[in-house]
Amino acid sequence: MSLGEVNDEYLVHGKVIHVKGEKQKFHYNRYLYVYTLVIAADTGKMTALKIFPFRGDEIPSLPIRLEDTVSIFGEWREHQFIISRIEKQK
């Protein structure tokens, strides 16, 4: 995994059916906080990652909850969908 700019190349609409967050080692004493989201879209279930730099003990928050309908924007990197931004639908 790498940090950096994530382009809005693809758009997925669906319902959040699972969210898991975990701290992962990135490089020496640097860490990432990675949220894994499972989205139920019209075409089936899809897994997407939202990656944050992890500083201190504060866990980054997501603007969504389970069962929310969302639009996620991002790009594919090595068979993984990396999220650039998330919009909660009303």
Taking only the tens place, the pLDDT of each residue in 10-50 is: 999 999 999 999 999 998 889 999 999 999 999 999 999 99
Task: Give the number of other Cβ atoms within 10 Å of residue 78's Cβ.
Answer: 7
Q: Which residue has the higher pLDDT, 62 or 3?
A: 62
Confidence at residue 90, expressed as pLDDT on a 0 to 100 scale? 81
Confidence at residue 2, expressed as pLDDT on a 0 to 100 scale? 55
Confidence at residue 1, expressed as pLDDT on a 0 to 100 scale? 52
Cβ–Cβ under 8 Å, residues 59 and 77: no
Residue 57 lies in a domain: yes
0.85 exceeded by the pTM?
A: yes
Domain at 66, CATH number: 2.40.50.140
Domain count, the chain: 1
Residue numbers of the domain that contains 58: 10-88
